[in-house]
Amino acid sequence: MTRYLSRSSIDESASADVRLFCFPYAGGGASAYGRWQRTLDAHGAGVRVLPIQLPGREGRIDEPRFTDLRALIDDLDAELDDELERPHIFYGHSMGALIAYSLACRRQQRGAPLPEAVVLSAYRAPHLPAPQIARPEASDEELIDSLAALGGIPQVLLNHPDFLSALLPVARDDLLLCTGEAASMAAEPRRVPRHQFAGRRDPQCSVPVVV
């Protein structure tokens, strides 16, 4: 049993045509994809959503978080290996896009089964530098302002210190994960179809920089 998936999500995926592994954005957890299954079922997609729960958040809050991308990808590759034998797709948003793409690259390098497709949103194309959200050493105020400007913190929660005190350490570690030496995505061609999406008004990852 892998630590990255809930037992219920694995059991429910037994009869699915395709498994959709969803990787969260910086500061986020598996609950970000909590409503996706209902929507896909309403369209008869035949896809089972498997949200990835990274350590140090939600149900894994007591576990140390990764700040090195290579170490995280090695752990994901080993932990998810058995679950990735069946047809599957990777989806990642923002930091999750970096993780999803890097994991696909890692599995191609070692000849492991690959996803049917990699779907990425809100992250720059592999040959471009990673988007700069905020410096990991930024003050709490600077980090809050940066995350709020990107929509990462709903306005209604900005005046709740308990929420912010829980979020900021996770966000700082995730920034380290995204800006480390290994965080530049490889630009060489992959054997996996890649689909990239961007918001027209996204200041960090507009349409021209994701394709």
The residues carrying an active-site annotation are 94
CA distance 15 to 207: 36
Contacts 24+ apart (CB under 8 A), 206-210: 209/124, 209/125, 209/128, 210/120, 210/123, 210/124, 210/125
Q: What is the 8-class DSSP label of residue 191?
A: S
CA distance 121 to 93: 5
